[in-house]
Structure 1
Amino acid sequence: MTASGWSANQFSALLGAYRSELGLTTASTTALFGIYVLGLIPGLLLGGPLADRRGRRPVVFLALGTSALATCLLMIGPVAAVFLWPGRFLTGIGAGALLAAGGAWIKELSSPPHGTAPNPGAAARRSGLFLSAGFATGGLAAALIAQWAPHPMVIAYVPHLIISAIAALSAARAPETSPAHAHAAPSAPAPVAPGERRASGSDFRRLVVPVAPWVFIAPAVAFATLPGLVDSDVKGWETVYAGVITAVTPGAGIIVAPFARSLAARHRIATGAIGLAAIALGLLISALAAAQAQPVIALIASVALGAGYGLCVAYGLTEVAALAPAHQLARLTSSFWTVAYLGFLAPYVITLFTGVFSPPTILTAAAVLALITLATLAYRGTRQAHAR
């Protein structure tokens, strides 16, 4: 999971370098940022069901290999920029399959002893924690290397290859929790264990899907949009500044993890609701930062956006782990990540609208949408609680 987060975010901190060193336009770099999602979707949609049929281990190792190949293609980018496109696309495929299969594997490896009530939230938070750790360290490491190392857009990717090798060696010792059963006859659904809820497509659509895109809208705005709006005051340090934001944002998500745990214990939807409120606040602060071109205010915005990201990803993964029976866990996990990662298209959408509206106006409108989503979640969650 850490390798997956690292691979996704190492590119984000280099967007400014690609614009200045390779002469890529803002539209091109945000499109490269977003094409990652086009790879994620098949990676998630195919990786989850494949992991349910063939087992967690083979899918995880195939995804790790794909991710490493993608990084090698990105390293060729300074010589032939055309390789950046398949590199980012394959990064998405590898990360998507890792999220689907790896998230299910972690949940199963985290299962308590027989006879003990399961705690789906604990495993979900563990997945989110290590994913966020990869997000936080990958972008910052790439930025620091790119600022001072020779051949920055090549050397910056080397750490991911090392992390991937370490991840493969570590995972090789983990037991397979879902052996291949491609030709097994369908079996009746397992009984619901104490503390678990039967999977409900309606619950997933009503309570998880509306929140899911905001999981990555928040960090995507922080990574890909904010630095370009305020970096006029950090001339010469644009790459380091972008790297700091890519560390601060998921770092805030890690810090709020204990808070997410206490919220989830009090009320089912509280984690998601407060996460959406934090994202709305972060977007409003982002609008202020863009209006005044203030890097410090943008950093404050990234903290709020990161906290919202952490709370929303904890909410979504906890709900999925609680709703899904074992034979559908990877499938439902992949569905959640598919919807969540659509949020990575937000910077490209913002770029398209910038020709008509100012960035502060667009960011303020996004904050209003987050608040509307919050109101919808609160209404549906309250009705669901009364129905129970």
Structure 2
Amino acid sequence: MKNKQWLRVALPVFGVAWGGNGFTPMLVHYREQGVLAAVTVDLMLVYYAIGVAIGLLGTGPLSDRFGRRALMLPAPIVALMGSVLIASGEQTAWLMGLGRFCAGIAVGMAMTAGGSWIKELSTPRFDATAKPSSGAMRVAMSLSAGFGLGAGASGLIGQCAPLPGQLPFVFHILLTLAFQPLLFGVQETRQSPRRAAGAIPRSGVFPLRAMFSFRFLFLAAAVAPWVFGTAFVGNAILPQRFQPEMDHPIALTGMFITIVLITGFVVQRGMPLLPAHLRPSLSLGAVVVSMSATVFVVDHLSLLRVAFACVLLGVSYGSCMYTGLSETIEVAVPNELGSLSGVYYSLTYTGMVFPALLTALSGSFTYPQMLGFGAAVAVVLLIVSVWASRRVYRPQRG
């Protein structure tokens, strides 16, 4: 079981991600109820994003200083508290907002402390079967599976089961209680720098040198916004546009989200097979293809077309997540992995503003125009990534 310690962390990370995204298809339910104002429902995504940002930027440096265990152990409990608040506050805005804030903090903790823990447990010191690509793949797949299956299950339960405002979150609570004990007994992989080396990390709170390195800026940061940018085109924009045609909007919204994220999960499994110098360009190429396809689909909506677009968007999401994370891991030094991961994930979450931005601009531009602009930006970044990859990987290829 020693070689499977990473799995004992990955399952709780999966559970936290389940709770973070299980709320998304339920937005349809809250809008249909009409108890809360539409703007109040939309603000739940903002509360979640604020929580994620705090969790990412706060937990990363703390886990580098005090260890992964200290920051990951409470993450599932914080996520559980979030689900309790949401389930008990279905018609109370401040309770739901606080619950979404807790869910966001928990996701940030799991992505940084949990992700760093999984990565470090996926090295030969702790897992004799691990390959150099195992850490990034295992982290990305744990998160994607949780985000995807959480949304799908919540959409199905919310559409078909009684008490739709409670049961999806009760299920997450039970899942959390089942996975939490797995964390006990897992080896710590990172000691406090105070205890290990007698000093705090040289770069201070954030790894400034790594953040502004050529490789991080032109490869990891270039793909980062497209991780959730493409995911939320499939998670929010296409379902919202197609919703008037849906007979079962909660379940179908959950299904579309699941298609995007589970496709990403499958893609991440195969990414290590690709040459490292091609991954950034192929990832951004997938963004160009998926955004271009969405330009057509958004004005020619049908169940099959939306589902197909979600598959393409899932390829973009999965390839960008793995590529950016693997580049981040390569750039980070051991005592800055949590901090730099927090910076990278924060950049990925900027993609969450895409739906709100497009909605705000929809009075002045059509959706095909705005999505087409996104595809054009991706083309520019694709050209930049080809140039940057040649510069970064020239020594290894020589």
TM-score, length basis structure 2: 0.88
Mark the CA change 1:357 to 1:23 in structure 2 (over 3 Å): closer, same or farther. Answer: farther
Counterpart-to-counterpart distance in 2, 1:115 and 1:24: 49
The answer for unaligned runs of 5 or more in structure 2 is 1-12, 203-208
Deviation at 1:379, TM superposition (A): 1.9
1:24 CA drift (Å): 5.0
1:219-248 C-alpha deviation (Å, 9 max, x unpaired):
11111111010122223x111110111111
2:337 alignment partner, one of 309, 325, 329: 329
Structure-2 change in CA distance of 1:335 and 1:108 (3 Å): same
Aligned AA (1:225): I
- Shifted more, 16-25 versus 137-146: the winner is 16-25
Report the Cα offset of residue 155 of structure 1.
1.0
Q: In 2, distance between residues paired with 1:116 and 1:166?
A: 27
Aligned equivalent of 1:310: 318
Counterpart code for 1:21: Q
Alignment correspondent of 2:76? 64
- Superposition deviation, residue 305 in structure 1: 0.7
Residues 137 and 269 of structure 2 are in contact (CA less than 8 Å); yes or no, is this contact kept in structure 1? no
Q: 2:298 aligns with which of 290, 294, 313?
A: 290
1:338 equivalent among 340, 346, 350: 346
SS in 1 for 2:323: helix
Q: CA deviation at 1:133?
A: 0.9
Q: Which amino acid aligns with 1:286?
A: T
- Relative to structure 1, the CA distance from residue 127 to residue 354 in structure 2 (aligned partners, 3 Å threshold; closer, same or farther) is same
In 2, Cα distance between the equivalents of 1:51 and 1:28? Answer: 34
Say whether the 8 Å CA contact 1:56–1:177 is kept in structure 2: yes
The alpha-carbon distance between structure 1 residues 379 and 157, as it changes in their structure 2 partners (threshold 3 A), is same
Cα pair 1:30 1:224 within 8 Å, conserved: no
Provide closer, same or farther for how the CA distance between residues 222 and 93 of structure 1 changes in structure 2, counting only shifts above 3 A. same
Instruction: Output the amino acid matched with 2:186.
Output: A
Tell me which residue corresponds to 2:223.
Answer: 211
* 1:276 corresponds to 2:284: yes
Task: Report the residue type matching 1:72 in the other structure.
Answer: V
Kept in 1, the 8 Å contact 2:40–2:93? The answer is: no
Contact 1:71 1:157 in 2 (8 A): yes
Matches within 5 A, 1:1-388: 1-22=13-34, 27-113=39-125, 119-182=131-194, 185-186=198-199, 201-202=212-213, 203-235=215-247, 237-263=248-274, 266-268=275-277, 270-386=278-394
Shift of 1:259: 3.0
Q: Percent identity?
A: 28
Deviation at 1:18, TM superposition (A): 1.5
Residues 273 and 378, structure 1, Cα contact 8 Å, conserved in 2: yes
Residue identity in the other structure for 1:244: M
- Counterparts of 2:93 and 2:392 in 1: how far apart (Å)? 51
Shift of residue 334, structure 1, vs aligned partner: 1.1
Contact 1:230–1:289 under 8 Å retained in 2: no
Residues in 2 aligned to 1:258 and 1:188: alpha-carbon distance in whole angstroms: 33
Gaps of 5+ in 1: 190-197
Deviations 1:161-218 (A, max 9, x none): 12222221111131111234446523899xxxxxxxx957412122211211111111
Task: Evaluate the alpha carbon distance shift between residue 32 and residue 371 of structure 1 in structure 2; reply closer, same or farther with a 3 A threshold.
Answer: farther
TM-score normalized with structure 1 length = 0.90
Q: Distance in 1 between matches of 2:291 and 2:35?
A: 29
Contact 1:144 1:243 in 2 (8 A): yes
- What is the CA–CA distance in structure 1 between the aligned matches of 2:130 and 2:161, rounded to whole Å? 48
Bigger drift between 360-369 and 112-121 goes to 112-121
Whether the 8 Å contact between 1:9 and 1:246 is mirrored in structure 2 is no
| Residues in 2 aligned to 1:114 and 1:3: alpha-carbon distance in whole angstroms | 23
Q: What secondary structure sits across from 2:188 in the alignment?
A: coil
Q: Distance in 2 between matches of 1:246 and 1:385?
A: 35
Q: CA deviation at 1:145?
A: 0.6
Shift in CA distance, 298/28, structure 1 to aligned 2, threshold 3 Å: farther
Matched residue count: 376
AA aligned to 1:342 is T
Q: Is the 8 A contact 2:259 2:314 kept in 1?
A: yes
Determine if contact 2:286/2:316 at 8 Å carries over to the other structure.
yes
- CA 1:350/1:60 → structure 2, altered by over 3 Å: closer, same or farther? same
Displacement after TM superposition at 1:280 (Å): 2.4
Could you give the per-residue CA deviations for residues 146-173 of structure 1, whole angstroms, max 9, x where no partner exists? 0111110111111211222222111113
Distance 1:124 1:364, change over 3 A: same
Q: Distance in 1 between matches of 2:342 and 2:201?
A: 22
